[in-house]
């Protein structure tokens, strides 16, 4: 599998909607597509329009797997990029993570 960054701009009205989508995403990925997609982490952002967006890090077999997973979950999945390499200057700051259920 390859590493991808998926951009989901302004996809949710609030954190509650995002949490429900996250739980569904994790369940579908783990139960129905474990050999095609693997959710690694997401960075949640406040969009200029007041909505919630994300930059998600996934391992995926290919772009079609990302699109299929997003379609099954009911969230955007067309804007994604294959990671060429990773440069880590510092690890992520310690914050209590919100885990997908």
Residues 73 and 12: beta-carbon distance below 8 Å: no
Is-above-0.85 flag for pTM?
A: yes
What integer pLDDT is reported at residue 94 of this predicted model? 79
Q: Quick one: how far is CA 101 from the chain centroid?
A: 14
What is the CATH architecture of 2-82? 2-Layer Sandwich (3.30)
pLDDT at residue 2, as a whole number: 98
| Mean pLDDT, the chain cut into blocks of 10 residues (101 residues total) | 98 96 96 97 96 98 98 96 94 71 50
């Amino acid at each position: 599998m390859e590493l991808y960054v998926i951009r989901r701009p302004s996809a949710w009205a609030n954190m509650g909607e995002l949490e429900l989508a996250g739980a569904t995403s994790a369940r579908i990925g783990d139960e129905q597509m474990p050999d095609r997609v693997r959710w690694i982490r997401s960075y949640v952002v406040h969009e200029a329009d007041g909505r919630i967006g994300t930059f998600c890090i996934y391992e995926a077999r290919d772009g079609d797997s990302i699109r299929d997973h997003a379609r099954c979950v009911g969230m955007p999945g067309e804007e994604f990029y294959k990671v060429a390499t990773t440069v880590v200057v510092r690890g992520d700051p310690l914050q209590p993570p919100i885990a997908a259920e």
